[in-house]
Structure 1
Amino acid sequence: MAKRRVFAGTQLRNLRNARGHKQSEMAGLLGISVSYLSQLEHDDRPLTPALIELLSRDFPMDWQDVEEDATTRRFAALREAASDPLFPAPLSVDQLTRIAEQQPALADQFVALHAAYRRTGERLQIVDEALASENAGGSRLPWEEVRDWFHMEGNYVDRLDRAAEELAEKLTSKTVSPTAEAIERYLRDALAISLIYTAHSGLRQYDSGAGELQIDQSQPAESQRFQLAHQLVALALQDDISAIVEGAGLRNRSSQQLLFVGLANYAAGALLMPYNRFRQEARNLRHDIDRLRQVFGVSFEQACHRLSTLQRSGARGLPFFFCRVDMAGNITKRHSATRLQFARFGGACPLWIVHEAVAIPDRILVQLAETPDGVRYVSMAKGLVKPSGSYARAPRRYAVALGCEIEHARDFIYADGLDLASPQAATPIGASCRICPRSDCDQRAFPPSDRAIIVDPNLRDVVPYRIA
């Protein structure tokens, strides 16, 4: 079989220029000579599998956009599957290359089998946690069913995302995101909706019979704009949303209605932060949330949530996990495009920085954390307060967290200043005490559900038992 020959001189040169590197600096990063790099950039020589692996590892966000052949895509998928902590040691570049080139059917089946394994593990986790939480029937409430539907979809709905992006093009001219005025104009002129700004009417109330939309004017400006966007897409993209709900296979009417609301919220985010514009700006700013929210006029939470949805095939964003935690430690929003998976019942690990952030509003905290499988993550968390508009109503307090695996740290500004290489620098965390296997955690609230405990009346440690 002929060896694949990948010529990507223009992309390699563009990557070097985007990083501001001289040829000598780039050659040093790749471990090759300057003359060899020059030949690569002029397409006089093809990239070797070892160089492709190095570029994919060190420049994952930039190199994923290189137009690749089927073998190269197969190699990348195989490398990701084979790097699962399930395996004691990863395959070498040469081994992966030989499998991808000489046994393509086997490689495809291995990748598919690994994906099925991951999905099965996630479904089993739902059942395990339901049983551990005394939800013995394993039945899910409507909001849990909708939450899990989004998770299984990868938190990305292509049909709706593209439709919202097209709609955003109609509403923008000189701005990167539709303004509140542009959305109001479309609601009035195209959809014949009357707008009323008033206090204490609920965040948003729509009367379809009267064609009247009320918006609570006590909300922050970005929240008002989001509610306008929600109503716009709920009407303008109603057929698309309804078709997705119809095909979701949810059990009851409440679940279907909740999914409609969730999809309208998703589309509102996609309208205000159009996919390609938002993805490119996020990369330019190294995913600096405060700067992103200024560019697109959205809230901190909205920007974080949108980053977790950038999973379009061929144009993926950084693989993030995202969650929102309330003052009691309940996870009220969650999604992970990483190997980190959240507990679906109960609270999260108390060692995770997001819990500290809840008590310290408007301050960004960062953490290097390591899960029991040995994977390390950079976490950013910030406590937020949403005003109620009245002294008689308590404001809402919560925290949001966003993070990625350390291999993407160079593209995540919050990793700056962390010692990513030190074995002692990472905080050991788990998904939740019910499923965490760590036996030496002083913060454990209760033992794992699948392990027995050993109690010695003559020994008292921080945790009053040992795990068998």
Structure 2
Amino acid sequence: MARIRIGSKIREHRKNLGITQAALAERCGISASYLNLIESDRRNIGGALLKRVADALELPIERFDGAAERRLLHELAEIAADPLLASPALAATSAADLVAQHAPWAHAIVKLHRACSERNEVVAALSDRYARDPFLGETVQEMSAHIASIRLAVDQLGRLAGPAPALREDVIADIADDSRRLAAVTQTLAGYLAKTPSAPRPLTPIEELEDFVVSHDNHFPQFERVAESLQSEIGLRSGHLESALVDHLEEVHRVQVRSSPLPGGAGASPRRRVSHFDRQTRVFELLELAPEASRRFELARLAAELGAGEAIAAEIAASPVLTSAASRQRAARALSSYTASALLLPYAEFLAAAQATRYDIDLLARRFNASFEQVCHRLVSLRRPGAAGVRFGYMRSDPAGHVTKRFPLPGLPLPRYGTGCPLWAVYRAFQTPGALLRQLVEMPGGERFLLLARAVEKERSAFGMPQHFMSIMLVCDARHAAALVYGEGIDLSAQARATPVGQTCRVCVRSDCAYRQADPVVGAPTTALAGSSMS
């Protein structure tokens, strides 16, 4: 991945403030010539010096850490990996130049690619449906036959010469009959298409939600405060969480909480469903056999949704990232879930426990009576300035390799438009469900990370439903692994052996990988693709 151009950002902010290069250099304790090299991106900058520069410009250091630029570069790299753009080859350095000098154009390219991906998904779904749906194919053929018959009759009518009333009436009757049949078939087809989905949901709302969360570094101080206020109001106490939440919903919001074998009623879809809230009747149904942690979280989420609805709406309305009704709806649910997590896992108490247990996920899950996934989510959000935990990345995948949730780390981009490296622990975890895998990996650029992954089974709402597994992966920089209990017994030195991995095959530069599934954009691999055979 190309290096982030921090110097140009420093120069831009300095000029906007009307500060000369010499004045800024004096404030930072360096020479003007050295600052010139930094601003022209001929010298790297970081650590204490970057902090002094940020302080001198009276800006938070996060404005210069390159997180937003790295994210944009990662997306451009994935776009460059698209087979459609395989020729001519796109250089990584040109992407860095584009981001540094023309960021709006870079964002425009990403937006266009997202739209293109969405259209391709829709076209593929429609094409597949037409090819595989027997009713649709037969109906279209029947419509074509009626249209051909009508055209033939019209041609015959036009060739009739002289008065032939009886024959003309017969032809007109045939046209009328075929027209009625065509109208009936068309109406049947329209009703069929209206009842069944013709295409998957667009990608854009999910993309916008992710951009929204990442732009806040997955930390929302205002909803941490809302959670603290709710906790005080509800009077939550360990061991009585569910009953306290039920009482709060009934007394404050006039919501009646019931246990149900299948939330939503007997006619509800047999899909996995833990809860259902009917806003008209004010009845909240919970799956009676759901795990206790899931039941409490659903109760807390509804309490947050009803108690902090105005604050959630205001945050969403103020975001320029959320441009569609679908993305705003997803964001509302995400913020209510965030508040529920902060309510059940209070920031200061949870951070202290995480540090005391050295981020032992299972111990934290037992202490707070939470699920593995809930604890992992909360660990990623511990980004309070002055009281932050270890910075984690997060990824969730289904057995087919679809990434259903992601939160990348600097130096470890997570895939957006496809599956990740097949060597990652998040995929290996499906081989041993329930077991926690740890893996020390090294990216092509030399960055090292500790991966923690576990495949967990999601609750089934009805008999006969198949097992539903999801793999959850936490990631941290290997430099912080010693602070984790999972770093014990692993050689974390720079000379230690680590699994060589990449982001995805299409953007990975490792030419000797035996697990490669696709040719790289940067050139052909020296080894055969995994899974290939010779006849």
TM-score normalised per structure 2: 0.63
Residue number in structure 1 paired with 2:513: 441
Contact 2:432 2:455 survives alignment (8 Å):
yes
Contact 1:326 1:358 survives alignment (8 Å):
no
Residue number in structure 2 paired with 1:307: 379
Residue number in structure 2 paired with 1:170: 233
Alignment partners' CA distance in 1, 2:60 and 2:316: 32
Which residue, out of 481, 495, 503, partners 1:423? Answer: 495
Which residue, out of 36, 45, 68, partners 1:119? Answer: 68
Residue number in structure 2 paired with 1:228: 299
- In the TM superposition, what is the alpha-carbon distance from 1:286 to its structure 2 partner? 0.6
Q: How does 1:10-29 map to 2 (within 5 A)?
A: none
- What secondary structure sits across from 1:190 in the alignment? helix
Residue number in structure 1 paired with 2:95: none
- In the TM superposition, what is the alpha-carbon distance from 1:464 to its structure 2 partner? 10
AA at the equivalent of 1:340:
L
Contact 1:130 1:138 survives alignment (8 Å):
no
Contact 2:358 2:483 survives alignment (8 Å):
yes
Residue number in structure 2 paired with 1:248: 319
Residue number in structure 2 paired with 1:204: 275
Unaligned runs of 5+ in 1: 1-73, 76-86
Contact 2:54 2:60 survives alignment (8 Å):
no
Contact 2:114 2:204 survives alignment (8 Å):
no
Alignment partners' CA distance in 1, 2:254 and 2:241: 18
Alignment partners' CA distance in 2, 1:204 and 1:261: 14
Which residue, out of 122, 129, 146, partners 2:78? Answer: 129
Deviations 1:144-183 (A, max 9, x none): 21122212221111111221122123334653x8711111
User: Counting helix residues as a fraction of each chain, which structure ranks higher?
Assistant: 2
Residue number in structure 1 paired with 2:223: 160
User: Number of residues paired by the alignment?
Assistant: 370
- In the TM superposition, what is the alpha-carbon distance from 1:219 to its structure 2 partner? 1.4
User: Percent sequence identity over matched residues?
Assistant: 28
Which residue, out of 316, 329, 336, partners 1:264? Answer: 336
Larger Rg: 2
- In the TM superposition, what is the alpha-carbon distance from 1:91 to its structure 2 partner? 7.4
Residue number in structure 2 paired with 1:144: 207
Alignment partners' CA distance in 2, 1:110 and 1:308: 21
Contact 2:305 2:336 survives alignment (8 Å):
yes
Alignment partners' CA distance in 1, 2:45 and 2:256: 62
- What secondary structure sits across from 2:418 in the alignment? coil
- What secondary structure sits across from 1:453 in the alignment? coil
- In the TM superposition, what is the alpha-carbon distance from 1:287 to its structure 2 partner? 0.6
Contact 1:325 1:358 survives alignment (8 Å):
no
Residue number in structure 2 paired with 1:319: 391
- What secondary structure sits across from 2:476 in the alignment? strand
Residues 137/322 of structure 1: CA separation in 2 closer, same or farther (3 Å cut): closer
Alignment partners' CA distance in 2, 1:341 and 1:375: 11
Residues 462/367 of structure 1: CA separation in 2 closer, same or farther (3 Å cut): same
Alignment partners' CA distance in 1, 2:487 and 2:43: 26
- In the TM superposition, what is the alpha-carbon distance from 1:403 to its structure 2 partner? 2.4
Residues 435/149 of structure 1: CA separation in 2 closer, same or farther (3 Å cut): farther
Residue number in structure 2 paired with 1:13: none
Contact 1:308 1:337 survives alignment (8 Å):
no
Contact 1:338 1:404 survives alignment (8 Å):
no
AA at the equivalent of 1:160:
F
Alignment partners' CA distance in 1, 2:510 and 2:347: 40
Alignment partners' CA distance in 2, 1:233 and 1:217: 21
2:460 is the counterpart of 1:388: yes
Alignment partners' CA distance in 1, 2:496 and 2:330: 44
Report the RMSD for the aligned CA atoms in angstroms: 3.0
2:398 is the counterpart of 1:336: no
- In the TM superposition, what is the alpha-carbon distance from 1:447 to its structure 2 partner? 2.5
- In the TM superposition, what is the alpha-carbon distance from 1:338 to its structure 2 partner? 4.7
Deviations 1:250-279 (A, max 9, x none): 121111111111111111111111111111
